[in-house]
Amino acid sequence: MIKIRDLRSADIDAVLAVADSQLGEKYITEADLSEGKVFVAEEDGLGKIVGFCIALVATKDGKPYVRTVAVAQEFSGQGIGTALVAKAVDYMEGLGAKSIFSPLWKHDGIVNSDVVFRRNGFVPVREIPDYWLKDSIEKGYLCPVCGKECHCTCVMYELYLAD
């Protein structure tokens, strides 16, 4: 059984391991985890962290974001990604968000997490080429596709919440 709960400090290494394997090495750092509200998916029986999602509320542009979601490969297709995003949405809605954005990774013409976000009511609103380029150079993380300089396109998704 999978339980979605808040991040605890003991989870950090396990979350970073999921992030490194699913999103690219060093894309998410420990500092990133403390900048947002992080939810984790825990395999109840094993006590193993199998996924996580970061909600960013106090952003520079004032817009709330689901920054990222990732689920370990061997646990994919069980609804965990969808449940993590739902939890982040509930949290931000509870804080009064009127709309929520999420920059999703497009690779080979496909947005992996499209279904996960559509199931939570998000729709694609625009595409932004080289969205992670500056960050990939400054932070030195490795894109799983491009390596050191990320030229991937982001598709920005938005969820409109009722007043």
Closest CA to 68 of 55, 79, 59: 55
Closest distance of CB 60 from ligand COA, Å: 19
Nearer to ligand COA, 36 or 81 (CB): 81
Q: Write the Ramachandran bin of 76: left for phi over 0, alpha for psi from -120 to 50, otherwise beta.
A: beta
Buried b (16+ CB within 10 A) or exposed e, 128-141: eeebbeeebeeeeb
Closest distance of CB 23 from ligand COA, Å: 5
Nearer to ligand COA, 85 or 163 (CB): 85
Closest distance of CB 163 from ligand COA, Å: 28
**Residues binding ligand COA (CB under 6 A):** 22-23, 68-71, 76-82, 104-105, 110, 112-113, 115-116
For ligand COA, the nearest residue by Cβ is 81
> Contact at 8 Å (CB) between 29 and 15?
no
Nearer to ligand COA, 50 or 97 (CB): 50
Distance CA 128, CA 153 (A): 6
Closest distance of CB 116 from ligand COA, Å: 5
Nearer to ligand COA, 53 or 162 (CB): 53
> Contact at 8 Å (CB) between 156 and 101?
yes
Nearer to ligand COA, 27 or 91 (CB): 27
- The H helix count followed by the E strand count for the chain is 5, 8
**Phi and psi torsions of 141, nearest 5°:** -85, 160
Closest distance of CB 53 from ligand COA, Å: 8
